[in-house]
Amino acid sequence: MTSAGGDRQAWIADDEPSAFELVNTEGRGRAILVCDHASPVIPRRLGSLGLSPEDRFRHVAWDIGAAEVARRLSGILDAPLALPGYSRLVVDCNRPLHEPDAFTTRSEDVAVTGNLSITDKEKAERAEAFFWPYHDALHRLVEARTAGDGVPVMVSVHSFTPVYHGEPRPWHIGVHYRWDNRGAEHALRLLREDGGLTVGDNEPYPLALDEDYTVPVHAERRGMPYVLFEIRQDLIESEAGADAWAERLGELLGALLTEANLHRYGPAATDVRERRFK
């Protein structure tokens, strides 16, 4: 098999974005920010994956507005941030690689025809080029942060569409959790203090092992506290919207990070396995 470095070089040209980006790695805040669906970029080698120019920049390819909110939060909280450099349609960095959606052939109402005939060999090569570099870098970042005296808190930022398969979604923001609800409980309470918000409790998506990889592997497996936000994309697709929601969440997280029960590790998730990370 070609080495990981060779696979990456074959898939990503010198003038294309890196497989991942780390921002503010020296930040002194307790949060570790992640944004798994930050980019709509598809490497030239894959062309358009069969998508129209319009579809390539719809939610099917990335979480619109999420990266802008996460970058602003990195500054507000003085926190490190990890982002993949490529679209979830190349490989979904928030899916276990054995799940079909990791290399999806349909995203919402759009056929991803470039993935229809993908071989196991190509899946492995894409994982080596795009998925593992991001997660290896995040693992090193989390390892460094958990080696100190303090307890970091993972904050994951996503966005969702206002309408899904014809069904309106009423929530302005969703708060998501699975094994450990400490961070979510505080976030839900603080968000609901604003009577003008409709807040989802594990809505519009529950956090689940077949649908999520980053939080289970990098936080739950360690017993590290976390919170995952899903923000409705029409609220953050503009610069002004991203600014407003980053300020809102920055204030909320500033309060959340002072909570006493988030200054200790909880029980490590016993149902999360990842042989790559010990």
Contact predicate 61/235, CB 8 Å: no
- Residue-level pLDDT at 7: 56
Residue 103 gets which letter from DSSP?
Answer: G
Instruction: Go through 25-37 and write b for each residue having 16 or more CB atoms within 10 A of its CB, e for each that does not.
Output: eebebbbbbbbbb
Integer-rounded Cα radius of gyration of the chain: 18
Q: Helix, strand, coil % (nearest 5) of the chain?
A: 35, 15, 50
Q: Is cis: bond before 80, omega within 30 of 0?
A: no
- Residue-level pLDDT at 109: 81
- Residue-level pLDDT at 8: 62
- Residue-level pLDDT at 166: 82
Given CATH 3.40.630.40, say whether it is the number of domain 4-262: yes
- Residue-level pLDDT at 5: 38
The residues spanned by each domain of the chain are: 4-262
Contact residues for 212 (Cβ-Cβ < 8 A; gap 6+):
94, 95, 178, 228
Give the pairing type, strands 163-164 and 110-111.
Answer: unpaired
Q: What is the mean pLDDT for each group of 10 consecutive residues in the chain (278 residues)? A: 47 96 97 98 96 92 98 98 98 97 88 95 97 98 94 98 90 98 98 95 95 98 98 98 98 98 97 92
